[in-house]
């Protein structure tokens, strides 16, 4: 080939043609540098007929400059990128961007310099240096990363390098990872587990696309089963990707992985240090990385040869990305497995209705693990009807729940209280004038966090210290908290059970791997009697002495009125219930609610999962909701309210008139102001017969908007705010 078509990373010009200079050879998927005006751009060599683009006369072509020294993106990955761009109505270069590491990683390995404390005791310390020394204990990273981490300027740290307090360390970016050993510690599987593992192992051996739905109750040993498939892929010298929903899960998971395979897996997530990112990306693309465990972004990495994908806790909503390219990693994982011709395992105790339907339709192969491992039984669930058993005034825990906790405390067992609300109280107002503290950038209340003494917005991160007086009426000491968050529940536990040792567990308190390890160790050593936590405690943890779970407010999730509210409530409560009674002692679950008659609560109480899914399926059928129909959203935003409204109206004004596509809106979004941008939404409900993406593309293509307007399409949306 003498001319090449490139996918380039320029929003306005995604496809450009170039000439291949004599002596330079390229393959499809290769990463190259090319001239664009006075600058250079990164490009990916692509099959020309798959991209479209204008035919440029031969004479006008400029030559590409350089082929980067990394292997080409594989054909299955290129097909996946095209598929995602098409399905999610997203720019193809935005999708492709997710496969790339940093520019430095593309340039080659070599070494980089990082810094760490030298152990030298300085004679005299400025307060800033002292603070930095405290913060940087055990850390090693670039000056920039350390400065951010310690909250001091880079200048301060450079001074500390000069004074010998910090020392440079040379890091080899291509140093190999230790090799996992498939037979390091093989567990003895139960009969049901072995049967499941055998199915997975033979699919891995056959290098065949098989989508599995591993549907097993909490504590059934799903992880042990898919570890056998991981082991087989390692034996076959193929790579494995394990997607986990949250970083919180990894700590626990890493320990188990290491116990099984002798070494930790390779991590991929957004808060990796730069040198770790470069090293991991290079090991992934070279094939040296055997098992990668990561959040959803790990899905688009350029694995050299995948042998297996696992999506653990596959029902989790955090697999859905809600900015940039709005994709669902669970669904894309299945598509990637198809292009790679490998098995994919979706593991869950509470699968999404969509996944169950696909299993029923025979698209997914369903593997069941109906029993807990080792004879542990599922906990007994009972309902606390808050209308009949009301907590005392100003309290949130019903007397029966407190009594059960008291008994656990007396027996030396542990309790877990679940409330999916961070902070002390979701709303703060002035007792005198009723002023409500609202975020200046979002249409949302500021949430009081007493432990860290601040009022914070959970959408944009804006925070202020609690003021001494009301900003409206100037009355001092006038703030009242409305409603409970986990911190307030923890205070209540301290009042009713003064001897109990209470731990608040949220993403605020467990914000580093060290803190997670400390928490797990403390809980295992029984240094904690009562855990009060958000959804971060609903999965992954295994505390044998935990015998009581209290759901503080089961109605909370049902209020939002969003499409999947009932399903999400079911999943969350079932998952947190699954923390109880995992050891030899049986567990008990108390669910506080004002709506015991709601189908989801009744199903939870009866332990009748099928009844819940049946009711849910009926409701969705009636609404033509997924999987029986399809949804999409168009979100219009601008810093200028009128601009956003006009753009939304223009879109609404040219809505397609089709029998199988219904358009709702435009209307101001429930979060009508987010991070300083005004937002409008249109919601599209389509029958399965409609070619939804084509309809949306044809609809939006001719429209032009003011400069500051952003229009994004959300296919199969999860968020309705």
Distance CA 305, CA 340 (A): 8
393 binds, among ligand ADP, Zn ion, none (CB under 5 to 8 A by kind): none
* Binding of Zn ion by 595 (CB under 5 A): no
Within a 10 A sphere around the Cβ of 450, how many other Cβ atoms? Answer: 16
Please say which residue, 260 or 677, places its beta carbon nearer to ligand ADP.
260
Under rule CB under 6 A, residue 223 binds ligand ADP: yes
442 binds Zn ion (CB under 5 A): yes
Closest by CA position to 421, among listed 482, 480, 495: 482
Residue whose CB is less far from ligand ADP, 444 or 536: 536
Q: Which of 184, 161, 328, 301 is nearest to 239 (CA)?
A: 301
| CA trace torsion 400, 406, 412, 413 (10° rounding) | 30
Residues contacting ligand ADP: total by CB under 6 A: 15
- CB of residue 321 vs ligand ADP: minimum separation in angstroms? 24
Q: Which residue has the tokens 């608040």?
A: 504
How many helical (H) and strand (E) elements, i.e. helices and strands, does the chain have? 20, 29
Cα torsion 49, 51, 55, 57 to 10°: value is -90
Residues 6+ apart with CB under 8 A from 240: 230, 233, 234, 290, 291, 292, 306, 307, 308, 309, 310
**DSSP 3-state of 375:** helix
x-marked contacts with Zn ion along 157-196 as a string, rule CB under 5 A: ----------------------------------------
Stretch that binds Zn ion, among 138-146, 180-188, 408-416, 440-448 (CB under 5 A): 440-448
> How many CB atoms within 10 Å of residue 228?
22
Separation of alpha carbons 4 and 48, rounded Å: 7
Distance set, CA 517 to CA 135, 249, 333, 531 (Å):
18, 11, 29, 15
Write down the least CB distance from residue 458 to Zn ion, Å: 8
Stretch that binds Zn ion, among 193-201, 292-300, 442-450, 470-478 (CB under 5 A): 442-450
Answer for the pair 510, 533: CB distance below 8 angstroms, yes or no: no
**Shortest spacing between CB 468 and Zn ion, in angstroms:** 22
Q: Smallest gap, in angstroms, from Cβ of residue 122 to ligand ADP?
A: 46
Which of 101, 182, 221, 627 touches ligand ADP (CB under 6 A)? 221
Instruction: Give CA–CA dist 176/174, Å, rounded.
Output: 6
The item of Zn ion, ligand ADP, none sharing an interface with residue 462, based on CB under 5 to 8 Å by kind, is Zn ion
Q: How far is CA 258 from the centre of its chain?
A: 23
Interface with ligand ADP (CB under 6 A), residue from 450, 542, 595, 687:
542
* Cis status of the peptide bond prior to 666, with omega within 30 of 0: yes
Q: Pick from 45, 171, 180, 189 the residue near ligand ADP by CB under 6 A.
A: 189
CA–CA dist 488, 84 (Å, integer): 43
**Minimal distance in Å, beta carbon 460 to Zn ion?**
3
Q: Which of residues 372-401 bind ligand ADP (CB under 6 A)?
A: 373
Q: Taking CB under 5 A as the criterion, which residues in 444-463 touch Zn ion?
A: 457, 459-460, 462
Residue of minimal Cβ distance to ligand ADP: 221
- Residue 193 sits in the site that holds ligand ADP (CB under 6 A): yes
d(CA 476, CA 478): 5
* By CB under 6 A, residue 348 contacts ligand ADP: no
Nearer Cβ to Zn ion (456/574): 456
For Zn ion, what does the binding mask look like between residues 388 and 427, x meaning CB under 5 A? ----------------------------------------
Q: Site for ligand ADP (CB under 6 A): which residue of 109, 187, 391, 399?
A: 187
Instruction: Indicate which of ligand ADP, Zn ion, none lies near residue 193 (CB less than 5 to 8 Å, by partner kind).
Output: ligand ADP
For tokens 């010009």, what's the residue? 13
From residue 346, alpha-carbon distances to 50, 315, 414, 575 in Å are 31, 9, 31, 16
Q: Identify which of 412, 400, 393 has the alpha carbon closest to the alpha carbon of residue 551.
A: 400
By beta-carbon proximity to ligand ADP, the closer residue of 221 and 629 is 221
* Least separation in angstroms between CB 378 and ligand ADP: 11
Please report how close the Cβ of residue 377 comes to ligand ADP at its closest, in angstroms.
Answer: 13
Helix (H, G, I), strand (E, B) or coil at 313: coil
Does 219 contact ligand ADP by CB under 6 A? yes
User: 644 with 632: CB under 8 angstroms?
Assistant: no
- Crossing angle for the helix pair 127-135 and 143-150, to the nearest 10 degrees: 100
Q: For residue 220, state whether it binds ligand ADP (rule: CB under 6 A).
A: yes
Binds ligand ADP (CB under 6 A): choice among 17, 224, 643, 716: 224
Of ligand ADP, Zn ion, none, which one does residue 629 interact with (CB within 5 to 8 Å by kind)?
none
Task: State the residues that interact with Zn ion by CB under 5 A.
Answer: 439, 441-442, 457, 459-460, 462
Task: State the residues that interact with ligand ADP by CB under 6 A.
Answer: 187-190, 193, 216, 218-224, 373, 542
């Amino acid at each position: 080939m003498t001319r090449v078509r490139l996918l380039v990373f320029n929003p306005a010009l995604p496809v450009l043609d170039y000439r291949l200079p004599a002596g330079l050879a390229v393959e499809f998927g290769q990463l190259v540098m090319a001239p664009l005006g006075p600058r250079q751009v990164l490009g990916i060599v692509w099959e020309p007929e798959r991209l479209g683009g204008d035919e440029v006369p031969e004479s006008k072509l400029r030559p590409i400059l350089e082929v980067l020294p990394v292997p080409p993106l594989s054909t299955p990955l290129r097909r996946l990128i095209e598929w995602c761009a098409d399905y999610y109505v997203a720019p193809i270069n935005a999708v492709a961007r997710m496969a790339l590491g940093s520019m430095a990683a593309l340039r080659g390995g070599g070494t980089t310099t990082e810094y760490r404390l030298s152990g030298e005791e300085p004679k005299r310390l400025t307060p800033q240096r002292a603070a930095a020394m405290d913060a940087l204990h055990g850390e090693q990273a670039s000056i920039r990363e350390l400065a951010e981490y310690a909250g001091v300027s880079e200048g301060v740290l450079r001074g500390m390098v000069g004074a010998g307090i910090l020392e440079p360390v040379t890091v080899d970016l291509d140093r190999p990872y230790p090799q996992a050993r498939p037979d390091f510690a093989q567990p003895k599987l139960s009969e049901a587990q072995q049967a499941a593992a055998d199915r997975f192992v033979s699919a891995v051996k056959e290098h065949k696309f098989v989508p599995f739905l591993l549907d097993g109750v909490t504590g059934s040993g799903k992880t042990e089963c898919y570890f056998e498939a991981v082991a087989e892929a390692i034996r076959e010298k193929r790579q494995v990707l394990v997607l986990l929903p949250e970083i919180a899960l990894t700590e626990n998971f890493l320990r188990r992985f290491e116990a099984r395979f002798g070494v930790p897996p390779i991590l991929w997530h957004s808060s990796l240090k730069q040198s770790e990112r470069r090293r991991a990306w290079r090991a992934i693309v070279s094939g040296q990385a055997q098992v990668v465990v990561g959040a959803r972004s790990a899905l688009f990495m350029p694995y050299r040869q995948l042998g297996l994908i696992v999506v653990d806790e596959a029902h989790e909503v955090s697999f859905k990305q809600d900015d940039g390219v709005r994709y669902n990693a669970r669904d894309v994982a299945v598509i990637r497995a198809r292009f790679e011709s490998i098995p994919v395992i979706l593991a869950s105790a509470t699968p999404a209705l969509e996944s169950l339907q696909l299993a029923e339709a025979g698209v997914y192969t369903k593997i069941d693990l109906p029993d807990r491992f080792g004879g542990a039984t599922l906990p007994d669930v009972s309902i606390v009807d808050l209308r009949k058993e009301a907590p005392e005034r100003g309290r949130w825990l019903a007397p029966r729940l407190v009594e059960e906790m008291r008994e656990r405390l007396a027996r030396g067992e542990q309790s877990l209280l679940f409330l999916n609300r961070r902070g002390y109280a979701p709303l703060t107002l002035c007792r005198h004038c009723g002023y409500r503290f609202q975020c200046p950038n979002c249409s949302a209340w500021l949430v009081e966090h007493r432990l860290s003494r601040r009022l914070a917005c959970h959408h944009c991160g804006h925070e202020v210290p609690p003021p001494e007086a009301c900003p409206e009426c100037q009355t001092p000491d006038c703030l009242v908290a409305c409603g409970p968050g986990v911190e307030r529940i923890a205070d209540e536990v301290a009042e009713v059970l003064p001897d109990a040792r209470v731990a608040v567990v949220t993403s605020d308190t467990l914000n580093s791997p060290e803190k997670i390890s400390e928490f797990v160790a403390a809980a295992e050593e029984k240094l904690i009697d009562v855990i009060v936590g958000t959804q971060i405690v609903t999965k992954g943890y295994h505390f044998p002495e935990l015998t009581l779970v209290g759901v503080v407010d089961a109605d909370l999730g049902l209020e939002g009125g969003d499409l999947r509210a009932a399903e999400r409530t079911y999943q969350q409560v079932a998952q947190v219930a699954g923390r109880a009674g995992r050891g030899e002692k049986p567990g008990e679950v108390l669910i506080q609610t004002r709506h015991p008659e709601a189908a989801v609560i009744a199903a939870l109480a009866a332990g009748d999962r099928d009844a819940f899914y049946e009711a849910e399926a009926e409701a969705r059928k009636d609404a033509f909701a997924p999987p029986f129909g399809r949804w999409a959203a168009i979100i219009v935003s601008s810093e200028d309210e009128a601009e956003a409204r006009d753009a939304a109206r223009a879109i609404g004004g040219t809505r397609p008139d089709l029998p199988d596509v219904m358009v709702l809106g435009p209307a101001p979004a429930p979060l009508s102001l987010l991070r300083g941008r005004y937002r409008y939404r249109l919601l599209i409900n389509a029958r399965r017969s409609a070619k939804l993406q084509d309809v949306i593309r044809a609809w939006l293509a001719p429209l032009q908007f003011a400069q500051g307007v952003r229009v994004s399409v959300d296919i199969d949306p999860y968020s309705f705010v």
